[in-house]
Amino acid sequence: MLSLTSMASSSIRLIHLVDWHFQISEHGPPKGYIGRKPGKRKVEVCPRRASLWDSFRSGFLKNNISQVIEPPSSVAEEEEVPQQQEVVLLERAQSDGTSEKIIFSSAADVDVYELQALCDKVGWPRRPLTKVVASLRNSYMVATLHSITTSHEGEERKQLIGMARATSDHAFNATIWDVLVDPSYQGQGLGKALVEQIIRALLRQDIGNITLFADNKVVDFYRNLGFEADPDGIKGMFWYPR
Strands (E), the chain: 86-93, 99-105, 141-150, 156-168, 173-181, 209-212
Q: What is the DSSP letter of 162?
A: E
Phi-psi region at 224: left, alpha or beta (left = phi > 0; alpha = psi -120 to 50): alpha
- Is 222 one of the annotated active-site residues of the chain? yes
Q: How far apart are CA 168 and CA 76, in angstroms?
A: 19
Q: What is the DSSP letter of 187?
A: T
Element (H, E) at 200: helix 190-204
Q: What is the DSSP letter of 141?
A: E
Q: What is the DSSP letter of 16?
A: -
Angle between helices 129-137 and 112-122 (to 10 degrees): 110
Of 113, 140, 185, 222, which residue is the catalytic one? Answer: 222
Residue among 197, 199, 194, 165 nearest 182 (CA)? 194
- Residues marked active site are found at 222
